[in-house]
Amino acid sequence: THAPITITLTGAGGQIGYAALFRIAAGDLLGPDQPVALRLLEIPQGMRAAEGAALELADCAFPTLASVEIADDANVAFDGANVALLVGSRPRSAGMERGDLLAANGAIFGPQGRAINDRAADDVRVVVVGNPANTNALIAQQHAPDVPSERFTALTRLDHNRAVGLLAAEAGTPVADISGVTIWGNHSATQYPDLSHATVRGRPALDIVDASWARGPYIERVAQRGAEIIEVRGGSSVASAANAAIEHTRDWLLGTGERSAGHWTSAAVVSRGEYGVPAGLISSFPVTSAGGNWSVVEGLDIDAFSRERIDASVAELAAERDAVQELGLI
Ligand code: NDP
């Protein structure tokens, strides 16, 4: 048997936390042979909800769940963490200015980055879910100078999965037939779901679906899917967001492996200047993972339409970075 892997989840009393905890404890993240030790971080008003989730976790008697601890102190919650899932954040409320939103999140993700720096295990890997996810990840990373910068990532896997699902529906094919879909840029309305390299059963997707759909309504539908879920369901996406966080983390730790060439996923990782994205921004790319490290899939041909879309989303990321710099948050 293996030693437990410590997984710290912030916002553990929230909805996404509730959806993620049981799957992680059941072994969906690291498999049925790998015990997990869960650390739940909450702010005081979320503590009772986290405590309730912990009681239910006990009542599941999962063989893979080694322990559950709850804390409202980041230095306790991140102590020895191998994986940090940063879900809790300050969402935008009506009438809130962007500067206020960034400042509120700076107050959350700065101290968490520092606690990760000081307390987490040497192999810590960080996945930011709470919005604005890419910039929250950048804030945390900038407060963790002793952690390799590429250990900080943000979630665009839900956007990726939405893009795959909506393409499959349009092509009238199972999702297993789809590969080569990419989400570029920011996890926001400017994200660019790109089908120019996508295939359906090995054929170019743009030979199967209408190119004007792929470069118009499709992009809008993927980017607005969160709003569509809220409209239909009466609440934001929860189970699909938790699922995406688990898939991102599992692929990162265990690898995208046996998938053949042209099969990749999307994640927001630190740019090293690939595809003209300024180095240091945490931006979504086509990625594969091996040996616990993401690699950007390089050498893809970027046409003029894609160039414009990628540049627009990356410009938004650069503006967010500049704003948090001006606010003294990084
Ligand atoms: P959720 O669990 O539904 O969402 C958590 C965060 O994930 C939100 O900021 C949300 O941003 C974001 N998110 C990212 N992608 C998605 C997506 N596709 N769909 C929905 N949400 C997405 O929020 P709750 O309010 O239920 O729970 C938040 C919890 O976090 C609370 O219990 C609160 O107490 C806690 N919290 C903990 C902190 C800490 O541990 N230090 C700090 C701050 C809060 P968006 O709304 O923009 O979609």
Closest residue to atom 13 of ligand 1, CA basis: 130
**Which residue in the list 2, 143, 160, 187 is annotated as catalytic?**
187
The answer to whether residues 62 and 107 belong to one domain is: yes
Ligand 1 geometric centre to CA of 257 (Å): 31
Predicted confidence band at 73 (pLDDT cuts at 50, 70, 90)?
very high
Contact 81, 147 (CB under 8 A): no
The answer to whether residues 135 and 211 belong to one domain is: no
The answer to whether residues 204 and 284 belong to one domain is: yes
Ligand 1 proximity of 105 Cβ (cutoff 6 Å): no
Range of the domain at 170: 157-318
Instruction: Let me know if residue 323 belongs to a domain.
Output: no
**Whether pLDDT at 282 is above 80:** yes
The answer to whether residues 123 and 187 belong to one domain is: no
Q: Which amino acid is at 33?
A: D
Ligand 1 proximity of 276 Cβ (cutoff 6 Å): no
pLDDT in tens, 4-43: 999 999 999 999 999 999 999 999 999 999 999 999 999 9
Annotated binding-site members for substrate: 92, 98, 131, 162
Asked if 143 is an active-site residue, the reply is: no
The answer to whether residues 180 and 265 belong to one domain is: yes
Among residues 71, 109, 70, 119, the alpha carbon closest in space to that of 88 is found at 109
Q: How far apart are alpha carbons 231 and 235 in whole angstroms?
A: 7
Domains held by the chain: number: 2
Can you tell me which atom of ligand 1 is nearest the CA of 133?
14
35: left (phi over 0), alpha (psi -120 to 50) or beta: beta
Ligand 1 geometric centre to CA of 316 (Å): 22
pLDDT in tens, 174-199: 999 999 999 999 999 999 999 999 99
269: left (phi over 0), alpha (psi -120 to 50) or beta: beta
Distances (CA, A) of 285 to 42, 159, 296, 310: 31, 12, 6, 10
The answer to whether residues 14 and 120 belong to one domain is: yes
Q: Give the end of a domain, one of 101, 133, 154.
A: 154
Ligand 1 proximity of 52 Cβ (cutoff 6 Å): no
Ligand 1 proximity of 245 Cβ (cutoff 6 Å): no
Predicted confidence band at 113 (pLDDT cuts at 50, 70, 90)?
very high
Query: What is the chain's mean pLDDT, rounded?
Result: 96
The answer to whether residues 263 and 142 belong to one domain is: no
Instruction: Let me know if residue 325 belongs to a domain.
Output: no
Question: CB under 8 Å to 256, separation ≥6 — which residues?
Answer: 263, 264, 265, 287, 288, 289, 290
The answer to whether residues 66 and 182 belong to one domain is: no
Ligand 1 geometric centre to CA of 118 (Å): 24
**Whether pLDDT at 136 is above 80:** yes
pLDDT in tens, 199-231: 999 999 999 999 999 999 999 999 999 999 999
Look at residue 93 in the predicted model and tell me its pLDDT. 82
Closest residue to atom 19 of ligand 1, CA basis: 237
The answer to whether residues 37 and 149 belong to one domain is: yes
CATH number for the domain spanning 36: value is: 3.40.50.720
The answer to whether residues 66 and 102 belong to one domain is: yes
Q: pTM higher than 0.90, yes or no?
A: yes
Can you tell me which atom of ligand 1 is nearest the CA of 158?
18
Closest residue to atom 35 of ligand 1, CA basis: 11
Ligand 1 proximity of 205 Cβ (cutoff 6 Å): no
Percentage of the chain with pLDDT > 70? 98
Look at residue 258 in the predicted model and tell me its pLDDT. 64
